[in-house]
Chain A
């Protein structure tokens, strides 16, 4: 158990809809990262937040947005969903007492868009 929690575990929705994925980082970690992993693909970095502020942006679509709240949990919002958005979405956290470069991943949210 990495200490990073993600909800929900599974999500099935229709095209055009909007969903919110939630992540709670490990206790003491200030950074949260979001990744997308499509079938048999590697991890695509989407966005990083550090202590509530956006720190780095990767290949995140304009239809996607994220935020980190004062209690450090983070939400990833996906809107106008398309079939191609079906993927595993992972949250990772770093910082705190561990080396800040070591990212610890949550169990992921499997999104299926029908």
Chain B
């Protein structure tokens, strides 16, 4: 079935560092969404992307819809402790049933010991 490859699986951050993560698909997507999930909570929508090449920011977060339509990137600038959590990408491909999204397995952000 359809799969999204999200990387890295996990990473450690130090306050003030910039963070990058990405998602790739084997097929073309027409929508990319990025979510953040805190432990025991529901995922929260961070950014939605609808056009190839689109670059959208939400505070210190910036996400891009790759021009090949098969990938998306999320950057977090000047990370702070509350950025810790799991980030999921989600996409919808052409021909997918209405509203149905495919989720990546997540990138877990932790604080450097």
Using a CB–CB cutoff of 8 Å, the interface residues on chain A facing chain B are: 2, 4, 31, 33, 41-43, 45, 48, 50, 55-56, 88, 90, 92, 94-95, 99-108, 110
Instruction: Tell me the number of A-to-B contacts counted with CB atoms below 8 Å.
Output: 69
Contact pick for A105, options B31, B44, B98, CB 8 Å? B44
Q: A50 and B42: CB pair below 8 A?
A: no
| B 100-112 to A, binary, CB cutoff 8 A, 1 in contact else 0 | 1111111000000
Chain A nearest CB, measured from B4 CB (Å) = 9
- Chain B residue at minimal CB-CB distance from A57: B97
Interface pairs (25), CB distance under 8 Å: A31-B99, A33-B99, A41-B105, A42-B88, A42-B103, A42-B104, A42-B105, A42-B106, A43-B88, A45-B100, A45-B102, A45-B103, A48-B97, A48-B100, A55-B98, A55-B100, A90-B42, A95-B99, A100-B98, A101-B33, A101-B101, A103-B33, A105-B43, A107-B41, A110-B40
Q: What's the Cα separation between A106 and B40 when bound, in Å?
A: 11
Contact pick for A101, options B42, B48, B88, B103, CB 8 Å? B48
Q: B43 and A101: CB pair below 8 A?
A: no
What residues of B have a CB within 8 angstroms of the CB of A45 in the complex? 100-103
Interface of B is mostly: loop
Which residue among A33, A48, A92, A101 has the maximum number of chain B CB atoms within 10 Å of its CB? A101
What residues of B have a CB within 8 angstroms of the CB of A48 in the complex? 97, 99-100
Q: B42 and A107: CB pair below 8 A?
A: yes
Q: What's the Cα separation between A2 and B50 when bound, in Å?
A: 21
